[in-house]
Structure 1
Amino acid sequence: MNSDFPRILTLLRKERGISQKQAASELSISQALLSHYEKGIRECGLDFVVRAADYYHVSCDFLLGRSPERTGATLSVEDIPEPENASQDNRMRGSILPTLNKKLIFNSLNILFDFLQKINCKELTSKISDFLMLSVYRMFRSVYGVNPKNEQSLFTISKHLYSAKSLAAMAELEAEINALASGEDHKKLIPADVRESLNVTTENLSSDYPQYATSLLNLVQNTENKMKS
């Protein structure tokens, strides 16, 4: 059994808000055995995979980590909606890869900024926006540098310094973002009721963002797969 199965099996139970004891009873196995499955100590048979998939109303492919979609759907470029307000003129042409990645990123950002709007914390929105702009800035400079004849006077920070300076700024921003998000920054606390309202599961992502959830879930899976390789 792959390493994703224990994680997803545990995630689905916790998303449903039920105890291990209740899940084990309704899946007709002992709590000890379910605990072993969730921890990856023991491997289950195909019959349990099918039973668990039916119990949590997901596909076996989702349960095994083969698809980020609860239905097990396979993603194609045509399946992903165009970014909001995209016109025919600014759509990517040619290779499928940049078209796919552009859609994944733009559509995922729609969800991220909708979350930020719900949280309604000006400082958090500002810092996350600054972090994302720095990421785009860094990659633009990398692509700009493909042609060494491109005029460097477009930028005020030299090509020898921008990488280190932007990385340092991003590291500082990420620390500040995490402090705000976790509540460690006591000067700018996000209200408890707002935190409670931001209850995110794979199920409500798909229902609340039917156009964009596929993009975000695939972005998460693709990114983590790259980090594991």
Structure 2
Amino acid sequence: MAVSSEFSRILTLLRKEKGISQKAAAASLGVSQALLSHYEKGIRECGLDFLVRAADFYGVSCDYMLGRTPDRSGTTLSIEEIPEPDSAGKENVMKGSILVVLNKKLIANSLNILFDMLNKAGSSSLTREVSDYIMIAVYRMFRVVYSANDKNQSGMFKLPEQIAHQYCAAAMEMRQANASAVASGKPLDGMDRIKDVDSLSLSTEKITREYPLFGTSLLNLINSAEKAVDFHPPQK
């Protein structure tokens, strides 16, 4: 059976998450430690019977083990199933640092305005490039914070640590270049244009008026971001 290249990585990650040795896992899965080692390194391909046993043992679906879905139960999230950022629940309760709560709200509220503008623009290419840029930025910072605890398993990520920063930086530059091409009215081949440029007309007053709940957050974010950049114009 030809298995996904993701299989060996996920098989190793699940064993480490379970906190058991390769020898113990092999015994539970009914194979030799040497064979399991080959599976985890991608040297050998397993059969369907082993795939099913491993999925049952680790409590995940075969699709997850093959890297066909990010959901361990094997289901694929629909738009309706993704919770809103401000949904109630313990995962959204921010206690402690005022700075954490403030920055989370500034960023989340500003993103509401940005994605409303993308919706008005009506360009799938612009939406895709902007979204990918933001997702990569979040991914990069998540990896940084995640790495603070050296006990966390690096197997969560497919991108090797030694190249992750450089590859992400390059990908973000490409996404920004593509987005800028669309925004300037000169999209590259295969990209669609902004359908309604006039809908993107904004001013400080208009932002406050059209986005009474989020406008102040965006204006504060702009100010905070420019302070973080720490640009000092040359003295005349």
Query: What's the TM-score bracket when you normalise by the shorter of the two chains?
Result: 0.5 to 0.7
For 1:20, the equivalent position in structure 2 comes to none
Distance 1:102 1:186 in 2: 34
Give 1:122's match in structure 2, choosing from 121, 124, 130.
124
- The superposition leaves residues 40-88 of structure 1 with CA deviations (integer Å, 9 ceiling, x where unpaired) of xxxxxxxxxxxxxxxxxxxxxxxxxxxxxxxxxxxxxxxxxxx863325
Deviation at 1:123, TM superposition (A): 0.9
Aligned residues: 145
Deviation at 1:171, TM superposition (A): 0.5
For 2:87, the equivalent position in structure 1 comes to 86
Q: Which amino acid aligns with 1:100?
A: L
- Given the superposition, is the C-alpha separation of residues 207 and 84 from structure 1 closer, same or farther in structure 2, using an over 3 Å criterion? farther
Please give the residue correspondences for 1:50-65 in structure 2 after superposition, counting only pairs within 5 Å: none
For 1:216, the equivalent position in structure 2 comes to 218
Over alpha carbons, which structure has the higher Rg?
A: 2
Distance 2:164 2:180 in 1: 24
Please give the residue correspondences for 1:100-139 in structure 2 after superposition, counting only pairs within 5 Å: 100-139=102-141
Local SS of the residue matching 1:160: helix
For 1:190, the equivalent position in structure 2 comes to 194
Local SS of the residue matching 1:161: helix
Local SS of the residue matching 1:109: helix
For 2:151, the equivalent position in structure 1 comes to 149
Deviation at 1:103, TM superposition (A): 0.2
Q: Which amino acid aligns with 1:222?
A: S
Distance 1:198 1:162 in 2: 34
For 2:58, the equivalent position in structure 1 comes to none
Q: Which amino acid aligns with 2:87?
A: A
Q: Does 1:225 align with 2:202?
A: no
Distance 1:123 1:117 in 2: 12
Given that 2:106 and 2:217 are in contact with CA atoms closer than 8 Å, whether structure 1 keeps it comes out as yes
The TM-score normalised by the length of structure 1 is: 0.60
Deviation at 1:130, TM superposition (A): 0.7
Distance 1:109 1:130 in 2: 13
Deviation at 1:161, TM superposition (A): 1.0
Deviation at 1:228, TM superposition (A): 2.0
Distance 2:170 2:85 in 1: 32
For 1:97, the equivalent position in structure 2 comes to 99
For 2:3, the equivalent position in structure 1 comes to none
For 1:37, the equivalent position in structure 2 comes to none
For 2:47, the equivalent position in structure 1 comes to none
For 2:179, the equivalent position in structure 1 comes to 177
Q: Which runs of 5+ in 2 are unaligned?
A: 1-83, 232-236
Deviation at 1:189, TM superposition (A): 2.4
For 2:28, the equivalent position in structure 1 comes to none
For 1:206, the equivalent position in structure 2 comes to 208
Distance 1:110 1:209 in 2: 9
For 1:51, the equivalent position in structure 2 comes to none
Local SS of the residue matching 2:208: helix
Local SS of the residue matching 1:149: coil
Distance 1:226 1:162 in 2: 24
Q: Which amino acid aligns with 1:179?
A: A
Q: Which amino acid aligns with 1:86?
A: S
